[in-house]
Amino acid sequence: MSGRATPPASALAGILLLVAAVACFAVLDTITKVVSLSVPLLMALWFRYAFQAAATTLAVLPKRGWSLPPTAHPKFQCLRGILLVTSSALAFFSLKYMPVGEFTAIVMITPLLMTLLASLTLGERVSGLRWGLVIGGFAGTLIIIRPGGEHFSWAMLLPLGLVTSNSWFQILTSRMARTEDPVTMHFYTGWVGTLIASVALPFVWTSLDSWTLWAGLALMGLMATAGHFMMILAYARTAVSTLTPFLYAQIAFAMLGGWLAFSHVPDSLSLVGMGMIAVFGALGAWLAVREGRAPVHAT
């Protein structure tokens, strides 16, 4: 995090860009759930990454031509792409079986889990208050999942796998962002994801007779690409610690998307769990500002 002050106009622009980005991600998740009813998930995953890869390539061609963008860590670029495509696959399968709002709330515990991983892998000291926030966030997750309850199913554990892979992805991103160009990282992420998804594509490809399904796949790619690009622009303008609390706006957008597309309204216990995750996550962001550190989010 930079020590320089962020001008108010730049900070406001960054906040607005981030809110627009998480709105795109909520639309992406909602459309993914709609499309997954008729399209094989791995086929949808391929379209999501192929769109990003093509769009990013078109963006870098005018400056760099047909040569690959330079990177000092090609192995880490590949590992980062593998972690993100794993997260995306788990997200797609989760959304097939879970409501959008509840899924999004569980995913929002990622910054809290990063606290644990930073302690275990980077040797960072974690205060008692921060441990309390992590425990509170997990308690909210358990309220949503409710193991042993009548609505519990194995599919509700998929977002926890997503949170784990995404946390490792973000820790790797935080390391690489010190030396790598964000656009370069975005480029390699898109192409690694496309190549991995292409392996399964011949086995899952199916013809689509409805133009609405093609439109849905295109919209998924557009929302993913635009959302990540706006997030890059947001973090270029405003400190991460300022932006982090606004990430939790995605829970509200996801609830709205679930209501509009599926008429789904979370029950009272789920709302309590979602509220706990939002509150403890926002407090974690505030504590990060106070301690002079903040999690780095995926590009």
| pLDDT for 150 | 63
Long-range contacts of 204-212 (CB under 8 A, 24+ apart): 204/40, 204/41, 204/42, 204/43, 205/40, 205/43, 206/39, 206/40, 206/43, 208/38, 208/39, 210/38
pLDDT digits (tens, 9 = 90+) for 43-65: 999 999 999 899 888 877 777 66
Q: pLDDT higher for 237 or 212?
A: 212
| Tally of CB atoms within 10 A around 214 | 14
Q: Which residues of 200-213 are buried (b: 16+ CB within 10 A; e: fewer)?
A: bbeeeeeeeeeeeb
* Angstrom distance (rounded) from CA 85 to CA 193: 5
Is the separation of the CB atoms in 190 and 45 below 8 Å? no
* Angstrom distance (rounded) from CA 54 to CA 225: 10
Q: pLDDT higher for 15 or 174?
A: 15
Q: Cα 50 to the chain's mean position, in Å?
A: 17
Closest CA to 175 of 88, 83, 288, 278: 83
Instruction: Note the pTM of the prediction, 2 decimals.
Output: 0.78
User: How many residues are given for the chain?
Assistant: 299
**Per the structure block, which two tokens stand in for 179?**
């030396």
Q: Which one-letter amino acid corresponds to residue 131?
A: W
Any idea where the domains of the chain sit in the sequence?
A: 8-291
Averaged pLDDT, 53-80: 82
pLDDT digits (tens, 9 = 90+) for 154-177: 777 888 889 889 888 877 876 776
pLDDT digits (tens, 9 = 90+) for 98-135: 889 888 888 888 777 776 776 666 666 767 787 788 78
Angle at 89 between CA 86 and CA 94, to 5 degrees: 125
